[in-house]
Structure 1
Amino acid sequence: MDKVYDLLSKHWGYHAFRPLQEAIIRTIIAGRDVLVFLPTGSGKSLCFQLPALCKEGLTLVVTPLIALMKDQVTQLAQRGVHAEAIFSGMSSVEIERRLDNCLYGNVKLLYVSPERLQTDLFKLRATTMSITTLVVDEAHCISQWGYDFRPSYLAIAHFKQTIPKANTVAFTATATKRVKQDIQNRLQLNKPLLFAQTFHRPNLIYWVRKTDHKDAQLLKALKQTAGPVIIYVNTRKKTETIANFLQKNGMTSVFYHAGLTTADRAIKQNLWTQNKVRIMVATAAFGMGIDKADVSLVVHLDLPASLEAYCQEAGRAGRNNVTAYAILWYDLQDIILLKQKCKESYPTIDQIRKVYQHLVNYYKIAVGSHAFVTYDFDLADFKQTTGLYTKEAYYGLKALELEGFIQLNEAYYQPSRVYFLLSREDLYAFQVHHPAYDWCIKGLLRLYGGTLFTPYCTIVEKKIAQFTQLAESKVQEQLHALHRLKVLEYFPQKATPQITFLTPRYLATDLPLPIHKIEQRNKTAYQQIESVIEYVTNDRRCRLAVLLDYFDENELVCNQCDICKSKVTRTIKDELITEGRNYVMHAIRQGKQDLKKIIEAVAPEKEKELLDVIRAMLDRKEIYYQYPGQLQISESSDISVPAVAVQRSGKGYVEKAKTPLVK
């Protein structure tokens, strides 16, 4: 048997490939550079995992998705393939051990983040490894025209000089023509062979509706469909709110977002993938690497930030080729919020300089000093001291990090969290019987109130300590004790948040920001949300045609989306109205002016429809009542109608002649 098919059967249990997979795999094995565009659910991972087993040496996989790294390493281990991953949060000892495994062990794939390629340690160790293939996943991240641009991807081309003999393989799901060219140029691909598969699947039906009653529409859709469901929303809190709402309405559901612990995410994901619960309510953090083919419905209750993200998420439905739906509900407020979020997420040059000025003032840093100096960082205190709004500070710092002026450690993005497990009544009883914890609990309630009873409230131990006049270590000690006593759940920060200045301090006015690049990135973001808004508000053009056009693919009309269906309905309705008007005008001309007799002459199921037509004709003054119940044609009416006769039948109006009668 062919080695490729032998390995496919042995490790994956398959005996045939999906479209394009085999050609891609054989091209990679041959050592060619490859650029691949495969939509979500097309079996992208297999395309680089299987060649890794066929080739000598190590396959290096660059991806920004830590969850995907972990999932794929686990899945490969279950298939008998040794893979490793290196990501943030690991100790230096653990990193060294995993790199040693790649050098001396039987590791076939190593997953790393793009930032890792820039470290001196990794560059040095890479020269000692036999890296034969470099895989760049989510390759659209290298393009400033893409929907998820990451500057760290720009370093990949330079890193390739460390492994000159390795071929480069780039994968992404969907990309515009401009982004495709940008990927090829920035990765310096050598005469790459291109493979592209349309994201269109005939079994996936797109549906968009404007509504002020999303909850009711959601329940209706869930009751009318069967099978696993994913519901996407934009905030962590909303995942919990919607999941609770569904449970109260008798539907099994769990929620998922990046703020959950790794263990919680795994539990919820397993419950859903094993069909123990039907509905997964999640943020965009859910879905990467999820191999579940029988999803029958993907719902968006909030507008996505781009059509690229939308197609990736919607594409998780119907991978088993059974009819599935991607439904998006929106209202006017959603459009306002999307524009507002875009404005907040992409600060202007002046806003970035403002945050930088506040930051250096906060640490009292002199001009020209403090390159590569690290400080403890308290976002809450920084905001309070500087007077910045939360989002203004957050996105300003993110922009400074993106441009390489500062670095924030992971703890900055994961503050401490608390959730009371007891009801208010039970909590009061606990305070009465355990006075040692009373002051800490009172401090929590005074500072954070009712949010403590909803999972999970972000807290700052330093702030609690100041309020209660307890030592911060004492506050942490009591929170841990209350956690053990099952009064609350306490998830402390993984480490103290820290901020590192990567350059000497500049005058804010002289901060060397790449103005053109930042302005272009902001412009691209606005163009992307405008494309989303245009897509959802469109009421004339096939949904699929709009999406295919956006991604520079040949347009198709699906005849299944809400737009296509409404066109058919409008056509039928227009034909029925025309037919009804013709019948009324002809009846009156033949001397049958009596309204009751006109109505009685048609099929019973057509009576209401004909009454509606007559009312419209009266409103437009095409006809009028000459006497009570007696209709007459208006003098101003210039309508020409065919001669028709009507009989009582299940088909309603039956056309007998086409000779026009002109008044």
Structure 2
Amino acid sequence: MQTALAILQKYWKHDQFRSLQNEIIDSVVGGKDTLAILPTGGGKSICFQVPALMQEGICLVISPLVALMKDQVANLQARNIKAIALTGGIRSEEMIDLLDNCQFGNYKFLYLSPERLQSDWILDRIKNLPINLIAIDEAHCVSQWGHDFRPAYLKISDLKKHFQKIPFLALTATATPRVKEDIITETGLQNPSVFQKSFARDNIAYMVIEAEDKLYKIEQILKKNPEPSIIYVRNRRSCIDIANQLKAIGFRATYYHGGLSPKEKETNMSIWMQEEAQVMVATNAFGMGIDKANVKTVMHIQLPDNIENYYQESGRAGRDGEKAFAILLTNPSDNLQAENQFLLNLPDKTFLNSVFIKLCNYFQIAYGEGFNEQFAFNLNHFCLKYNFPTLKTYNAIQFLDRQGIINLSQEFSEKISLQFLIPSKEVIRYNSLHPNDEEIILTILRTYPGIYEMQTAFNLDFIAKKSNHKPNEVQAVLHKLKEKGIVSYNAKNNDASILFNEIREDERTINRVAKYLERQNQLKKDQLHSVLNYVNEKKRCKNQIILSYFGEETKSECGICSYCIGKKKTVPKLQSVTTQLLELLQKESLNSREIQERTQLDSETVIKGLQKLLEEEKIVLKANNNYTIHI
């Protein structure tokens, strides 16, 4: 058996493990159930990939994120490691082929969502595989107090009955003490070894900065720190708007969100990774597989939903160990806006039921039908059709996704449907005249037997793989067949799709999950209050607040956050500030920003000084927002 280090060097070209990785691998190889809590950038995937490669057999990886599964499978395949993922929308016959490949094709990794474990026939097939390790990624999803609870994760403990001698490895980046206990209990870990890296990031300065004009403050920060930066925003429109505004004032910026095509994502990512752009403006879709060591600044310009997400996203700064900044820009209206918008957009049971029924009607799914059917989906069109508020509806659909009732995929994809328009004997004749196309056409006909009778959803990548051709070669044949009138071929680009995991049962479906909705709504309120506490607490180190949230107490202050820096500052006496402002305004009229730039005082000090002078009627504020001496 090769050593863990030899495997790491061979496939990943690293000379040593990161903190705790080796200990976790030793625990797993020793056959022990293990819980690993490693913050973002800690290298969780290595902890199950290396031990799986050290032993005979296949590693079963349970993950809730389709994009993450695809990303990890692609990375393993690029290293010539055989890996496969059972994602949503795969037809039963395709899945049988994929599971056959796992059983007889010497595959090392099988990725699947927890919802797949609810299918008895899939579970029966998995039982017969030579499993050497079961890895549970995003393990916090098993806890009803976790920020992404998914009831399907509760089924994972059933695997223990069938794989009693196989080690389980549960992995997560963030877990409060309550969630940690839930992971151990609910996944059925037996006397697990627990490895938890401190949540402290000593080189990251957590800064909360009040700013009336956020774009101006961003400009100041980026000029002061010209190294690679990420700015997180809440939606796609803000993503594009902020990137364009930054370009307009001279910064090299690009953007990233879930609605971009794979090619656009790759291009924009490459521009930023190669530092042709200083700034990446992104939604939370940007994160997986991002391992750029020299990110200096991560900025959030809107309040995050919870501390868990904020910690993970901020943790993309400073991975080279150099000092870095996690900056949250806020202004007084943010608190009120967040609370109002947040509470108004939490779906209750009645609204959830209405959305689910309309969703089924939208796709013309009859009662008792819909299982494993997949559809392209446009949220704005759906909300417009039924007069639903967009954000509240999105939250309802996300909840249905987490409960496993549907799978919402927000990845760009090309949905293809195909139908042969000529009789089978004519197709045989075409094949004899075009032997280069024959293998692809025969593969299509074998895979989709009903393709003569109706328009059939078509998986281009699967056909390419099955016929031993590249996707573009399959596409070229399809275009040729369409031009000759042999097939009807429709391709539609979409940035979301919905897969139904169970039949339509309307109220019965919603009643089953309603108990979770109430609890999750309360959890989300509590999490928002934790964010507001982090922002508004003026008398405590920001690093201490974050560590305390994750159950890690420390008496020592970090010395570099906005609170600690503020303590060190010598606050100038108000009298000397007002004297300085008067001297400046006697020369010319200026607005508050210009005054701040000239005096190098912070905005709070400038505002206090100006208020004092206005009260004493020594200055006046003109219509153009400039301050001038009172005459």
Q: CA deviation at 1:513?
A: 4.4
1:300 aligns with 2:300: yes
Distance 1:506 1:246 in 2: 48
Distance 1:381 1:227 in 2: 40
- Asked if 2 retains the 8 angstrom alpha-carbon contact of 1:411 and 1:498, the reply is no
Question: 1:492 is matched by which residue type in structure 2?
Answer: N
Question: 1:288 is matched by which residue type in structure 2?
Answer: M
Judge which range, 54-63 or 372-381, deviates more. Answer: 372-381
1:74 aligns with 2:74: yes
For residues 414 and 351 of structure 1, do their structure 2 counterparts lie closer, same or farther at Cα, with a shift above 3 Å needed?
farther
- Asked if 1 retains the 8 angstrom alpha-carbon contact of 2:412 and 2:496, the reply is no
Among 367, 370, 376, the alignment partner of 2:368 is 370
The aligned counterpart of 2:557 is 557
Distance 1:409 1:557 in 2: 42
The aligned counterpart of 1:539 is 538
For residues 252 and 364 of structure 1, do their structure 2 counterparts lie closer, same or farther at Cα, with a shift above 3 Å needed?
closer
The aligned counterpart of 2:266 is 266
Q: For this pair of structures, how many residues does the alignment match?
A: 507
Matched position secondary structure for 2:511: coil
Q: CA deviation at 1:78?
A: 3.2
Aligned pairs (5 A) from 1:343-492? 343-355=343-355, 370=368, 383=383, 386-399=386-399, 402=402, 407=406, 410=409, 492=493
Q: CA deviation at 1:329?
A: 0.2
The aligned counterpart of 2:63 is 63
Provide Cα deviations, 1:284-306, integer angstroms capped at 9, x if missing partner. Answer: 11112212211111111111100
Aligned pairs (5 A) from 1:5-154? 5-92=5-92, 94-154=94-154
The aligned counterpart of 1:502 is 503
Q: CA deviation at 1:361?
A: 8.6
Q: CA deviation at 1:519?
A: 1.8
The aligned counterpart of 1:163 is 163
For residues 537 and 381 of structure 1, do their structure 2 counterparts lie closer, same or farther at Cα, with a shift above 3 Å needed?
closer
- Asked if 1 retains the 8 angstrom alpha-carbon contact of 2:347 and 2:396, the reply is yes
- Asked if 2 retains the 8 angstrom alpha-carbon contact of 1:411 and 1:495, the reply is yes
Distance 2:194 2:501 in 1: 41
Question: 2:83 is matched by which residue type in structure 1?
Answer: A
Distance 2:118 2:111 in 1: 15
- Asked if 1 retains the 8 angstrom alpha-carbon contact of 2:73 and 2:83, the reply is yes
Q: CA deviation at 1:328?
A: 0.8
Question: 1:283 is matched by which residue type in structure 2?
Answer: T
For residues 173 and 415 of structure 1, do their structure 2 counterparts lie closer, same or farther at Cα, with a shift above 3 Å needed?
same
The aligned counterpart of 2:282 is 282
- Asked if 2 retains the 8 angstrom alpha-carbon contact of 1:254 and 1:268, the reply is yes
Q: CA deviation at 1:253?
A: 1.8
- Asked if 2 retains the 8 angstrom alpha-carbon contact of 1:37 and 1:174, the reply is yes
- Asked if 1 retains the 8 angstrom alpha-carbon contact of 2:34 and 2:169, the reply is yes
- Asked if 1 retains the 8 angstrom alpha-carbon contact of 2:261 and 2:413, the reply is no
The aligned counterpart of 2:464 is none
Larger C-alpha radius of gyration, 1 or 2? 1
| RMSD (Å), alpha carbons | 3.7
Distance 2:84 2:503 in 1: 30
Provide Cα deviations, 1:440-475, integer angstroms capped at 9, x if missing partner. Answer: xxxxxxxxxxxxxxxxxxxxxxxxxxxxxxxxxxxx
- Asked if 2 retains the 8 angstrom alpha-carbon contact of 1:535 and 1:543, the reply is yes
- Asked if 2 retains the 8 angstrom alpha-carbon contact of 1:156 and 1:187, the reply is yes
For residues 45 and 496 of structure 1, do their structure 2 counterparts lie closer, same or farther at Cα, with a shift above 3 Å needed?
closer
**Alignment TM-score, normalising by the size of structure 1:** 0.69
Question: 1:346 is matched by which residue type in structure 2?
Answer: L
For residues 519 and 194 of structure 1, do their structure 2 counterparts lie closer, same or farther at Cα, with a shift above 3 Å needed?
same
Provide Cα deviations, 1:108-166, integer angstroms capped at 9, x if missing partner. Answer: 12222222222334213212211111101111111111111122222222244343332
The aligned counterpart of 1:644 is none
Q: CA deviation at 1:69?
A: 2.1
The aligned counterpart of 2:195 is 195
Question: 1:122 is matched by which residue type in structure 2?
Answer: I
For residues 132 and 408 of structure 1, do their structure 2 counterparts lie closer, same or farther at Cα, with a shift above 3 Å needed?
closer
Structure 1, unaligned stretches of length 5 or more? Answer: 417-479, 482-489, 581-607, 620-663
Q: CA deviation at 1:199?
A: 2.0
Distance 1:365 1:12 in 2: 47
Distance 2:76 2:407 in 1: 32
Distance 2:115 2:244 in 1: 38
The aligned counterpart of 1:255 is 255
Q: CA deviation at 1:532?
A: 0.3
Question: 2:192 is matched by which residue type in structure 1?
Answer: P
Distance 2:254 2:323 in 1: 24
Provide Cα deviations, 1:314-340, integer angstroms capped at 9, x if missing partner. Answer: 001111101111111012333234324
Question: 2:245 is matched by which residue type in structure 1?
Answer: F
- Asked if 1 retains the 8 angstrom alpha-carbon contact of 2:356 and 2:506, the reply is no
- Asked if 2 retains the 8 angstrom alpha-carbon contact of 1:126 and 1:162, the reply is no
Distance 1:174 1:338 in 2: 23
Matched position secondary structure for 1:27: helix
Distance 1:507 1:124 in 2: 28
The aligned counterpart of 1:451 is none
The aligned counterpart of 2:319 is 319
Distance 1:6 1:415 in 2: 41
- Asked if 2 retains the 8 angstrom alpha-carbon contact of 1:205 and 1:325, the reply is yes
1:526 aligns with 2:525: yes
Distance 1:20 1:196 in 2: 8
1:548 aligns with 2:547: yes
Matched position secondary structure for 1:18: coil
Q: CA deviation at 1:401?
A: 5.7
- Asked if 1 retains the 8 angstrom alpha-carbon contact of 2:259 and 2:495, the reply is no
- Asked if 1 retains the 8 angstrom alpha-carbon contact of 2:412 and 2:495, the reply is no
Matched position secondary structure for 1:35: strand
The aligned counterpart of 1:630 is none
Q: CA deviation at 1:208?
A: 0.7
Question: 1:540 is matched by which residue type in structure 2?
Answer: K
Question: 2:164 is matched by which residue type in structure 1?
Answer: P
The aligned counterpart of 1:232 is 232
Q: CA deviation at 1:341?
A: 4.3
Distance 1:298 1:246 in 2: 15
Judge which range, 86-95 or 317-326, deviates more. Answer: 86-95
For residues 27 and 99 of structure 1, do their structure 2 counterparts lie closer, same or farther at Cα, with a shift above 3 Å needed?
same
Judge which range, 532-541 or 334-343, deviates more. Answer: 334-343
Q: CA deviation at 1:73?
A: 2.3
Q: CA deviation at 1:271?
A: 2.3
For residues 18 and 517 of structure 1, do their structure 2 counterparts lie closer, same or farther at Cα, with a shift above 3 Å needed?
same
The aligned counterpart of 2:210 is 210
Distance 1:81 1:507 in 2: 44
- Aligned residues with identical type, % of pairs: 37
Distance 1:414 1:341 in 2: 31
- Asked if 2 retains the 8 angstrom alpha-carbon contact of 1:370 and 1:505, the reply is no
Provide Cα deviations, 1:536-581, integer angstroms capped at 9, x if missing partner. Answer: 1111110001111111102231011110111111xx448x89999x
For residues 162 and 253 of structure 1, do their structure 2 counterparts lie closer, same or farther at Cα, with a shift above 3 Å needed?
farther
Distance 2:289 2:575 in 1: 53
Matched position secondary structure for 2:99: helix
Matched position secondary structure for 2:10: helix
Distance 2:514 2:274 in 1: 49
Provide Cα deviations, 1:337-380, integer angstroms capped at 9, x if missing partner. Answer: 432443255312343345467678989999xx636577988867
Provide Cα deviations, 1:608-639, integer angstroms capped at 9, x if missing partner. Answer: 9xxx9xxx9xx9xxxxxxxxxxxxxxxxxxxx
Question: 1:546 is matched by which residue type in structure 2?
Answer: I
Matched position secondary structure for 1:303: coil
